[in-house]
């Protein structure tokens, strides 16, 4: 089922993100995580896309496994990074063969070791161009990314919202946001989007913290701010992984509860290929009938 149809029907979606492992030998452990996430009855699971061919084949394989061997819809990521239009057409054909009909269209981050995104010959320079191509190529439901604290390369949130508007006007059906920890940032972003006549559903992305060093690195890379009270709390216990995870789960639950009280279209959890903490959060929020 297409995600645009789910949103029209349900007005809310529960979803999780997983990513292909760096080594194919780790697939079995990822499939075990996916099996546990499927027990939570999500509306869909998203699968990220490796740059420059690094995990592209695994993205298709994992997405197909979720779509065709569980009773769960899948959202496959697709980026512009080192990908020509011909490459993109072949990938879309692979998705079609596997009955994958939902795509998250992203420009993508520069490849490892490079600081800026460079459009390759015959490729795409911006996500809105990729959205237009996918829209014309086949009957897919297309999502795009939103950045509550502004994309790290954008000069301002207003400029970034204009970029989001281009992606939506190009044919995207919904928006999933990058991680954030202050809900006020999300509300401000959502209000600005509405003021720019962006009418598609905007789904907040939630990142449960379970490792201090990891979240510090991720937040730095994507420009997300960790509120001082949250940072100080997890820093004090940063050497005690169980305490970091415990507080991270509690924070994610509180953050999600407040969002649920403020009419969000769904909750999208970045699982980092772990299921235990996601299961606890979903259970506490009473979002699943499967546990």
Q: How confident is the model at residue 52 (pLDDT cuts 50, 70, 90)?
A: low
Distance CA 169, CA 176 (A): 16
Distance CA 47, CA 61 (A): 10
Q: How confident is the model at residue 291 (pLDDT cuts 50, 70, 90)?
A: very low
Give tens-digit pLDDT for 120-137.
899 999 999 999 999 999
pLDDT reported for residue 108: 87
In this structure, what token pair is assigned to residue 85? Answer: 């239009």
Q: What is the mean pLDDT of residues 10-16?
A: 95
Cβ distance 277 to 210 under 8 Å?
A: yes
Cβ-count burial 5-18 (b if 16+ within 10 Å, e if not): ebbeeeebbbbbbb
DSSP string spanning 260-283? HTTT-SEEEEE-TT--HHHHHHHH
Q: Is the pLDDT of residue 282 over 60?
A: yes
Q: Is the pLDDT of residue 86 over 90?
A: yes
Q: Is the pLDDT of residue 195 over 50?
A: yes
pLDDT reported for residue 12: 95
Domain boundaries of the chain, sorted by first residue = 3-285
pLDDT reported for residue 115: 73
Catalytic residues: 17
Classified as helix, coil or strand, 28 is helix
Architecture of the domain whose range is 3-285: Alpha-Beta Barrel (3.20)
This prediction has a pTM of: 0.95
Give tens-digit pLDDT for 221-252.
888 999 999 999 999 998 998 999 999 999 99
Q: Is the pLDDT of residue 289 over 80?
A: no
pLDDT reported for residue 290: 45
Q: What is the mean pLDDT of residues 49-54?
A: 63
Share of the chain above pLDDT 90, in %: 83
């Amino acid at each position: 089922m297409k995600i645009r149809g789910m949103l029209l029907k349900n007005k809310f979606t529960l979803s999780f993100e997983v990513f292909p492992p760096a080594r194919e030998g780790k697939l079995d452990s990822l499939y075990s995580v996916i099996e546990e996430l499927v027990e939570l009855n999500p509306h869909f699971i998203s699968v990220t896309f490796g740059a420059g061919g690094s995990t592209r084949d695994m993205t298709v394989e994992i997405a197909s496994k979720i779509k065709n061997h569980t009773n769960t819809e899948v959202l496959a990521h697709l980026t512009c990074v080192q990908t020509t239009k011909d490459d993109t057409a072949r990938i879309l054909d692979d998705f079609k063969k596997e009955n994958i009909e939902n795509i998250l269209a992203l420009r993508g981050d520069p490849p490892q070791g490079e600081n800026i995104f460079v459009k390759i010959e015959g490729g795409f320079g911006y996500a809105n161009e990729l959205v237009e191509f996918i829209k014309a190529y086949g009957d897919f439901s297309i999502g795009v990314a939103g950045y509550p604290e502004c994309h790290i390369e954008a000069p301002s949130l207003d400029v970034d919202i204009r970029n989001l508007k281009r992606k939506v006007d190009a044919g995207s059906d919904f928006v999933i946001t990058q991680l954030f920890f202050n809900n006020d940032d999300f509300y401000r972003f959502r209000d600005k989007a509405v003021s720019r006549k962006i009418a598609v559903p905007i789904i907040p992305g939630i990142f449960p913290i379970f490792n201090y060093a990891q979240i510090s690195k991720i937040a730095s890379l994507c420009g997300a701010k960790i509120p001082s009270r949250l940072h100080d709390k997890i820093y004090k216990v940063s050497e005690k992984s169980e305490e970091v995870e415990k507080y991270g789960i509690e924070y994610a639950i509180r953050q999600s509860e407040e969002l649920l009280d403020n009419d969000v279209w769904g909750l999208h959890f970045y699982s980092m290929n772990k299921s235990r903490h996601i299961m606890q959060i979903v259970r506490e929020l009473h979002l699943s009938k499967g546990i």
